[in-house]
Amino acid sequence: MIPITKSRFTTVSMRSLLFALILLSTVLPAARAQKEMPLYPGKIPNATNAPDQETIKDFIVRNVSKPTIKVFLPDPAIANGTAVIVCPGGGYGVLVIDREGYQVAKELNKIGVAAIVLKYRLPSDEIMKDKSIGPLQDAQQAIKTVRENAAEWKVDPKKIGIMGFSAGGHLAATAGTHYDSSFIDNPKKTSLRPDFMILVYPVISFLEKIGHKGSAANLLGQSPTMEKVRYFSNDLQVKNTTPPTYLTHAGDDTVVPISNSIQFYEALNAKGIPSDLHIYSKGEHGYLQVPTFEEWFGRCKHWMQTNGILPQK
């Protein structure tokens, strides 16, 4: 055995300390940059006293009754002040929280954008007094929370957008077309209008011809009134102040017909809202193989730069 002299011990100790400091320097910023918190600081509006039955398996979340936001902040060296609230999809029955939430948030961070993943309540008569407005309440509360924490999170309060996939796209579009009707307490009168929308293979309409029946039934019930169906068919709710929008969809989507995105784009275009619609011949629902994330997200990034949401390089 080689004896450890004082000088040798000091060298080994210093190396260990240096390694530990390097490790901490990489781990701690990541830990600080990602934090999950309850969406509401107090009582959850529109909630019943039902027990919490939330489960998660393979990053699929079910039975959400206590909404949260998870904040992903970019490296300060590349942060540009833009923020995006991300709404995962799942037909208003589950949340695909990783693939359409956390993974997207990390990619947004890479281009200097703060990302806030919204784990919104899944509509249920058991946990809500009016399940049709529960997810919208959560989206509005998320927008309000980000805007009111803009200074702390180094976010420009005029560059807060909302992004959604599938039924999460419906929620994002609902937030972007119904922001002038507040469904939450808002004593500071904070603007609930997202500054832009990013909608990926979104559900837009609940009308029979093109609507997604599963999402409609989960949100509105089996026999909603036509008034409510039309209210939540967001292509019918576009107005001159609806935010600029990026849309992408696949022509071979047999789950959510491409007509959802086309009709929403046409409604936006008719009102002069700056919008892009990118259609892929193949991609089905979910873009599981094609187009690649880099393909459609690259086009989205270009649209954000063109419209002043991201800085031009």
The per-residue pLDDT for 27 is: 43
Sequence ranges of the domains in the chain: 39-306
* pLDDT of amino acid 162: 99
In the chain the first and final C-alpha atoms are separated, in Å, by 60
Q: Which residues of the chain fall short of a pLDDT of 50? A: 1-14, 16-17, 19-32
Greatest alpha-carbon pair distance for the chain in Å reads: 85
Give the C-alpha separation, 208 to 24, whole Å.
Answer: 55
CATH 3.40.50.620 fits 39-306, yes or no: no
pTM: 0.90
pLDDT number for residue 66? 98
- pLDDT value, residue 3: 46
Tracing tokens 């976010």 back to the chain, one arrives at: 155
User: What confidence score (pLDDT) does residue 34 get?
Assistant: 83
Q: Can you give the pLDDT at residue 33?
A: 64
